[in-house]
Amino acid sequence: MSKKKKHVLHKEDYLGSIKYDLPAGLVVFLVAIPLCLGIALASQPDAADLKFPIFAGIISGIIGGLVIPLISQSQLSVSGPAAGLTVVVITGVTTIGSFTGFLVAVFLAGLIQILLGVIRAGFVAYYIPSSVIKGMLAAIGIILILKQLPHAVGYDVELFSLKFNEKSLQENTFTAILHAMEHIEWGAFIIALISLALMIVWERTSLKNFRWVPSALVVVILGIVLNELFLKSVLPTFTLNATHRVSLPTGSILEGLSFPDWSFLTKGEVWITAVTIGLIASVETLLTVEAVDKLDPYKRKSPLDRELIAQGVGNSLSGLIGGLPITCVIVRSSASINAGGRTKLASFFHGMFLLVSVLFIARYLNYVPLASLAAILLMVGYKLAKPSVFKMIYQKGWEQFAPFVITIVAILFTDLLKGVGIGIVVGLFFVIRSNFHSSISVTKDGDHMLVRFNKDASFLNKPLLLDALESIDENTRVVIDGTRAQYMDSDISELLEEFQKEAELKNIEVELKNVNKLLPS
């Protein structure tokens, strides 16, 4: 009995979870810094006069951590600026022609999300096949691994983007890895290698008894110490300079605040952008929350409509003070889970750490090597896409494995939403295929034949029924049984009427059992 109690987490047990959530929040905060900054940089328009403060990414990270958990009932999800919305931000700012005008669209997008939550639109997530969600998680894991390999060897050509095939500095993901192998920073490589080894040992040995101290936090501290040792030892050439460490702006946060220009409220481009952000951010959030719930060791279910409302409040507030659009994000959520986070306090603590760091200790955080963070994210990526996941899905059959693999490939070569959309279409194909093959059964015994509808019959079942009827020989007695069906559309009824006429010419005796009641009048 005592062992079972250890696996039960009561809703009110926030106080008891602080010792897990506080260090997990610190780890998520350390991972979130480069993500917030990188997404803000990746979202900048080409035109110099349209560029906005990089603090916009930090602001949305703070709101995602401090505000959304107060409303959301999702215990393990973490919110902040999302890589999947970078193109939308670039297009929106460029189309509207002003970042302050774009902030109006972000504010309105939040109101749209609140409306979607009020009308209970969160049910859409329940129609996404689990194989597609697992494929999305695995794809993000693969992207993380590919994106972090260059950082692990000190080739920091970009910050932590999740985009797979978009060129950055004339490079894509694969060329960046190849070039990284030619420009290895040995200090970064040593830090990343030792960090990965430590995290593996931490998971697999008696050190796991100290899980209340996340291995990721130890790795960050170790990275700082090693870099300082390089500087003060006989290996000064291994020392990582500022370009290979976290780069957090040290100015006042007030300098980074921007406010919406309400004169843009009447412009159509603002409303189009608002609807686009509202819908895309909502879909990404629903996908991520469903995925995070599957990773939850306590198997809790998040109220999706409440999550839409929480995200809407966060986005409206972000638009009011100069932040980027916010969604629930899988990388930070996974990092929280892997670091031992148990409740939404981990997300709140990460937001609190972001705020405190910007206000007081930004210059100290700039000592953290990017290689340390790369090692953390490599481990997160591996856990999302480890071989056992592929093996488990494969053992469930092609109906599960095909949508899973196709979702992964589609996300890698397009983006998150398009990839998931393609995965859903493939999953739907297999549902239709399964329905097609199992809807009608044929049993033959001498000159007697039974054609049975095992479920409702529609035009999708017409080819299978036609094959069954055409296989009936002359001088046969056939029973067509519709007992198990509750509906039959006009295509099927027309086919049965035509068969009855042909049956008279072939001396086929036809008995319709519980079929006439299903035929359209």
Q: Which ranges of 385-489 does DSSP label H, i.e. alpha helix?
A: 387-394, 398-413, 416-438, 462-470
Q: Indicate the domain borders of the chain.
A: 17-387, 439-518
Decide if pLDDT at 1 tops 60.
no
Give the rounded percent of residues in the chain with a pLDDT score beyond 70. 88
pLDDT at 243: 77
> Tens digit of pLDDT for each residue in 190-218?
999 999 998 888 777 655 566 556 677 78
Q: What is the pTM of this model?
A: 0.70
CATH class of segment(s) 439-518:
alpha beta
Element (H, E) at 279: helix 268-295
pLDDT at 205: 62
Burial group, residue 215, by CB count within 10 angstroms (0-12, 13-18, 19+): buried
Beta strands, E only, 5-158: 78-81
Average pLDDT value for residue range 508-518: 85
313 conformational bin, left if phi > 0, alpha if psi -120 to 50, beta if neither? alpha
User: Residue 74 — pLDDT band, cuts 50, 70, 90?
Assistant: very high
**Mean confidence (pLDDT) of the chain:** 84
pLDDT at 170: 52
Average pLDDT value for residue range 160-172: 48
pLDDT at 11: 52
Average pLDDT value for residue range 74-103: 89
Decide if pLDDT at 378 tops 70.
yes
Structure token pair of residue 174:
């694969």
Contacts by residues 230-233 (CB-CB < 8 Å, ≥ 24 positions apart): 230/187
Instruction: Characterize the bridge pairing of strands 448-453 and 440-445.
Output: antiparallel
Decide if pLDDT at 68 tops 80.
yes
Q: How far apart are CA 331 and CA 328, in angstroms?
A: 9
Q: Regarding predicted confidence, which is higher, 308 or 233?
A: 308
User: Residue 143 — pLDDT band, cuts 50, 70, 90?
Assistant: confident
pLDDT at 520: 66
> Tens digit of pLDDT for each residue in 326-338?
999 988 999 899 8
- What single-letter DSSP state applies at residue 124? G
> Tens digit of pLDDT for each residue in 225-274?
998 888 777 677 787 777 788 776 666 667 668 899 999 999 999 999 99
pLDDT at 77: 96
Structure token pair of residue 357:
């760091």
Residue 318 one-letter amino acid = S
User: Residue 4 — pLDDT band, cuts 50, 70, 90?
Assistant: very low
Decide if pLDDT at 426 tops 80.
yes
pLDDT at 239: 78
Scored b (16 or more CB within 10 A) or e, 63-102 reads bbbbbbbeebbbbbbbbbbbbbbbebbbebbebbebbbbb
Residue 480 one-letter amino acid = I
Q: How far apart are CA 246 and CA 449, in angstroms?
A: 74
pLDDT at 3: 44
Contacts by residues 358-363 (CB-CB < 8 Å, ≥ 24 positions apart): 358/55, 358/58, 358/62, 358/248, 358/249, 358/253, 359/253, 362/248, 362/249, 362/250, 363/248, 363/250
pLDDT at 230: 84
**Which CA distances in Å does 121 have to 126, 157, 326, 465, 512?**
11, 40, 18, 38, 43
pLDDT at 256: 67
pLDDT at 72: 96
> Tens digit of pLDDT for each residue in 401-421?
999 999 999 988 887 778 888
Average pLDDT value for residue range 95-102: 94
Decide if pLDDT at 7 tops 50.
no
Average pLDDT value for residue range 119-140: 84
pLDDT at 339: 86
Is there a contact between 55 and 253 (Cβ–Cβ < 8 Å)? yes
